[in-house]
Chain A
Amino acid sequence: MKNSLIIFIAFLLFTTSIHAQNGVTEADFYQLKTLPIPANIELEVGGMATIPDGRLAVSTRRGEVWMVENPYSATPYYRLFAKGMHEVLGLNYHKGALYAVQRGELTKLTDTDGDGEADVYQNIANWELAGNYHEYSYGPVFDKDDNMFLTFNVAWVGFGEAKLSKWRGWLVKVTPDGTLTPVAAGLRSPACVMMNAAGDIFYTENQGDWVGSGRITHLEKGDFAGHASSLYWTKEPESPMTLKKEDVPDNSEPMYKAAEKVKNLKLPAVWYPHTMMGISTADMIEDVEGNMGPFFKGQYFVSDQGHSKVMRMQLEKINGQYQGACFPFREGWQSGLLRLSWGNDGSMFGGMTSRGWSSTGKDLFGLQRMIWGGKTPFEMAEIHAMSDGFEISFTKPVDKATATKAENYEINSFNYKYHHFYGSPTIENKAHAIKAIIISDDLKKVRLVLDESRRYFIHEIKPKGVKSQENEPLLHEVGYYTLNNVPANMTADLSKNAMVAAMPAINHTDHKAMDMKPATKDKKGKKGAVASIKRQLTMPADWSAPDKTLTIGTKPVMKFDIDAVEVKAGSKVKLIFNNLDNDMTHNLVIVEPGTADEVGNQAIKLGIKGSQVNYVPNNAKVLYHTALLQPSSSESIYFIAPTKPGNYTYVCTYPGHHTIMQGILKVTE
């Protein structure tokens, strides 16, 4: 028992933060400290606010507000400040008081008798609810006039429905006297509303119906962010717009096409490609001070609940509109990372919960703190749009030899469908050719001149082979830039520049789906074996019947429904894989013993190409696999069991799943 525990912990450490090939990991630059939580506290974090006096206020899904005293140490003290509220998913500290957003009420909490516990729960504003669980409410953020902004989820009735109660799917404003007015519509699951230093409001959005992928959108009065259900309420006199649901194109064309017709439709500032970045965009904070290093000063950090990680976002304004790029930053948090908050010392608090929504971090809840250790990672610091491509600035000077080779870069662009369906595949994918590479004199900027400028497209920018002058690989080799606007007059003058290296176009899309081609060889060399391919969908003609039929299903908690199955070495196996999940896609990949993490990590790195290959990487350790199955669907594959006995693993390699979704295929003599 003890041994297996140690192995398990070792496994966790091993699987966390594997990135650069030279062994440098995120943890070398950004360290996570876990705050101990007393055993009797279920700290399912819903909201967080840093108090100037050094305390951290944490609200929970069970309706409490805990004051964590001394949170910058191994001995924090938890004091219950308020309790009994209804799922507090938003907490803020403003002018000496805490404000909590419950499901149906914005509440100011005050301790009037000085005993450290709130005794006044003042109703600032309340609003209608239909009683649907998905009617979550978030906020508040304050503007300079003490107005408060909140975001409201739509209900879930098999799709996102706003009409069950008023202003669902809206950004609303509450004046200090409690008057609630609608500001912007089109929200689906807006887990975070924030205001940046410039006073602009942003919200984070989760993939779902009308939302092809996670995204962050800048909202102004009268904006419509895309989820059409909320337009039901534009019939009200307080509505700042008259747009109707019927006016919104629902034809699966990209969102920008709809925006050409619908003037209120606001395109996201940054898309977070589903599974390539995260799966459930949650919180967002701005690093005004450069807490995570001066090279990231002014950027934003965005958490992902399902992937238990922090991503980084850099914004710029082109033609007066926000747009920019997102990058991986730090994964391996302990639970579903719902909330981020700056500590007074510049560290970053992460507040977590995964109840009801499984996350990569396996704990049910948690509180951690991230500290920048002072070292500079080799990263793309920023990506800027140019008239004819992009300029990447790096945190360190680049190695000129690797940076001038076109094969060290991959640039792909793609888009998402805009429609009432749940999510979207990537569409209109294109691999870009690089026409020229220009390196700045200080070697920190690389200008990429591309074959084509695709306005409105998401650009996957991958300088994967570029090294720093110290020969370091990038800590993260990808960024996704949302090119809503192309700046004018930013065209490179190729004739005058000495550092031009013209490059041939390369085609990155020739990576074929693996299920299309048989494996090159039957490695087993077993006499009389059928030609082995990795995804055989019909029973081979020379079988009369399978020796064994296995049925493996999935459970909604991101698990297979069977932990282990057994087959005889070399036997004929039919495997029926039932994806019984209701809203997640899964595959089943059988891999060589002990290689599930290697294959799983490789699948994550497939990026945009993942969806074309069922998230199955081209790796000899992959023996057999199914397709990526939609919810409530099934596939049967036929294969010959390995001839060598042992404990093989079946694993789901859909990004974010492989660490917990595994089982053992025991092959016996």
Chain B
Amino acid sequence: MKTTYMFLKNKRPFILWYSLLICINATFAQSYQSLDALTDFNNPSAAWQVVGGVMGAPSDKTFTSKAGTGVLLCTPKNGLYKAGDNLISNLEHGDLDLSFDVMIPKGANSGVYLQGRYEIQVFDSWGITRPTSSDAGGIYERWDDSKGKGTEGYEGHAPRVNAVKAPGLWNHVEVSFIAPRFDASGKKTANARFAKVSWNGMVIHQNVELFGTTRAAAFTDEKPLGPLMIQGDHGVVAYKNIRITKIGNSSITMSAPVKYQIYENAFTREKTGDVLAKPVAKDLTTLKPVLTGETSLIDATVSRRGVQYFVFTGKFKVSKTDMYDFKGNWHGYANVWIDDALVLSDENTPWYGLGFNEETLGKKQLTEGEHSFKIGYTHRDWERQMRAVALYVKNANDTEGWQGLHEKKSEIEFSKTVLNEVEPMTQPIFQRSFVVFNGKKRTHAINVGFPQGLHYSYDTKQGALLHAWRGLFLNTTEMWHERGEEQTAEPLGISVQLTGRFSLINKDKLDSIAESELRYEGTNLVDIEGQKTPQFSYRYQNTTIKDWVQPTANKQGLQRTISLSTTLPNMNILLATASKGIQKAADGLYAVDGAAYFIKLPAGTTAVLSKKNGQQMLMVALNSSVFSYEIVF
């Protein structure tokens, strides 16, 4: 009866169908349990130490570190393959949602074992185009010596794509794990499962069932609970932000059936007879419901005809007095009352914006025991004939995770399968589209893809690099499926966010050239090493500026070149901006924004670091008429 739903933490902001207004999910303090101290682990070996930060270039096999806390750094002291160097958590877990950041030096090998048994491989796979189960993100093979040499490994799962970044950069990994189930006699009734694994934002596994433990597990048997294990016996590796966002199952339960009443003609218009005016709910006490009934959980699919107003009422129980978070996700317009207090509300949503997938969040203090909820809902859909209401609740101060009070079928379901995929074959390809950057649509953007598997997006109006990514090129589903209401295209690979502003900035004020002063002249396809490469042309006063990007020869990143018809001595070139810092990793190499990517300068160039409006800026003085730099990730 009890239903638990995963909290999709990295849910992509859903862009409203109707206009420029883009809603980002409200940032919501998410409770989690950190494993960032050595005391969180059972008898850690001397290989592990807590440091304040680590740094390395892509060619470095070790890291330099600085004192402090927050980062778990492994440096084996007594040679490799000493099992004692593996880090085993004190915590034992069953179902678990976990996220962590990992930095992998050149040639390194590590792994994260759920329940000490099921491994997500951590490996320096940078540059590998066809990853296997032993590459970063792989679910490692199981192992059976009796199968004979060369065939011992079986049931490994390669990641869908190689999503690993360069050595010296942090990778962000999220794992949602479902533990195996056992009956009273201890017999396994359901296999363990990786519900979802994503690496640097790319989903690399979904619903992968495991028939047993993977190779080099801490245990060969399977159990309801086990510790988390981080491999430390294969060499240098660093972890941080190891966070348990959900463990076990919610203790919140439904305590009565859900009653529903459905009304028709429940609205009038602000202006009589005006179908475009805002609908105003009538007094329900004057109306008779056209349909009433009971379900065990909230279910908005009980009726589907005309324009209806649904009222759901029900009760749930919480096991302790505490602050509780509520989350609603519906297709249409709803208000939610808990114990008669309005907790989730669409009151201020513009009525014509209804019908999109946006989470509504709220909080309420609850005492131990039973509480009531009431939902008033109308679908008021324009494009889709969907009835969907989902209501989640969780204790704000623990990691039990969200408890859904609704049927799975009552959730919004949009197909997010890539229907239209654009790929460069032998020549660069480009596709103009809207591109979402920092939550806003850039309307004059272009996406450029190279056969080398490196791609970028760019704002032609502002001469601005938006994103760089590696992998497949472009998902154009939101442009070419039906009417293409979003008109946005999305990267199909691991991406890094770049400056989003023009790179010529004046030296004093550190401002970019204003869009009004910069005229986009057009795009020329120029032959660069046999590839017809887009080159963007701008006019600024009497200067013609050419701006183009191509993959680096070693395919480790993108090279951007800016050339000017006259020199502009009052200008700097802006290479990167960062709120999480810019650090020098080696000569001419800077790790940007918490080591999300590197900027590599040509030899002999002096970088200028400055700060404005809380953002660090990496620049070079514009002394020549041509300048190139690399973005490595």
Residues of A within 8 A of B (CB): 61-63, 83-87, 102-105, 107-108, 117-123, 126, 128-133, 155-159, 161, 164, 209, 355-357, 420-422, 551, 553, 555-556, 576, 578, 580, 582, 632-634
Contact = CB atoms under 8 A, between A and B. Distances in A.
B305 A634 contact: yes
A412 B207 CA distance: 66
Nearest to A102: B432
A543 B444 CA distance: 64
B431 A158 contact: no
Contacts of A157: 18-19, 352
A103 B523 contact: no
Contacts of A633: 306
B75 interface: no
A580 B385 contact: yes
B441 interface: yes
A121 B305 CA distance: 50
B304 interface: yes
Contact of B306 (A120, A159, A578): A578
Contacts of B381: 582
B276 A130 contact: no
The 8 closest A-B pairs by CB, nearest first: A356-B483, A158-B352, A131-B441, A86-B432, A129-B443, A122-B522, A84-B430, A130-B20
A118 B526 CA distance: 11
Contact of A133 (B444, B486, B522): B486
Contact of B522 (A83, A84, A121, A158): A121
B423 to A, nearest CB: 13
Interface string B356-398: 0000000000000000000000000111010000000000000
Given A120-B522, A159-B352, A84 B429 contact: yes
Contacts of A85: 432
Interface of B: 17-20, 274-276, 304-307, 351-352, 381-383, 385, 429-434, 441, 443-444, 446, 460-461, 476, 479-480, 482-487, 520-526, 532
Nearest to B18: A157
A119 B524 contact: yes
Contacts of B274: 421
Contacts of A355: 480, 482-483
Contact of A105 (B20, B306, B444): B444
A155 B20 CA distance: 10
A578 B487 contact: no
A161 B382 CA distance: 16
Nearest to A178: B519
B524 A164 contact: no
Among B275, B482, B521, the most chain A Cβ lie within 10 Å of the Cβ of B275
Given A104-B443, A357-B483, A131 B520 contact: no
Contacts of A102: 432
A128 B434 CA distance: 12
B19 A131 contact: yes
5 contacts: A126-B520, A132-B20, A155-B19, A356-B483, A421-B274
A117 B306 CA distance: 52
A633 B525 CA distance: 53
B385 A83 contact: no
B20 A86 contact: no
Contacts of B524: 119-121
Nearest to A118: B525
Contact of A131 (B304, B431, B443, B476): B443
A558 to B, nearest CB: 13
Contacts of A422: 275-276
Given A62-B480, A84-B446, A129-B443, A158 B306 contact: no
A130 B304 contact: no
Contacts of B429: 83-84
A118 B532 CA distance: 11
Contact of B19 (A62, A164, A209, A356): A164
Contact of B444 (A104, A161, A209, A580): A104
A133 B483 CA distance: 8
Nearest to A130: B20
B306 A632 contact: yes
B19 A132 contact: yes
B484 A133 contact: yes
B382 A209 contact: no
Nearest to B433: A86
A314 B385 CA distance: 42
B521 A582 contact: no
Nearest to A62: B480
Nearest to A109: B522
A91 to B, nearest CB: 15
A131 B434 contact: yes
A551 B484 CA distance: 31
A37 to B, nearest CB: 17
B20 A84 contact: no
A103 B443 contact: yes
Contacts of B20: 130-132, 164
Contacts of A103: 443, 487
A667 B55 CA distance: 77
A633 B484 CA distance: 26
A87 B444 CA distance: 12
B301 to A, nearest CB: 14
A117 B525 CA distance: 10
Contacts of B521: 122-123
B522 A421 contact: no
Contact of A63 (B18, B305, B431, B443): B431
Nearest to A161: B19
B485 A158 contact: no
A98 B485 CA distance: 28
B532 A119 contact: yes
B573 to A, nearest CB: 23
Given A121-B522, A126-B520, A578-B306, 9 more contacts: A108-B522, A120-B525, A130-B443, A131-B443, A356-B482, A356-B484, A421-B275, A551-B305, A632-B306
Nearest to A576: B305
A221 B351 CA distance: 36
A633 B523 CA distance: 50
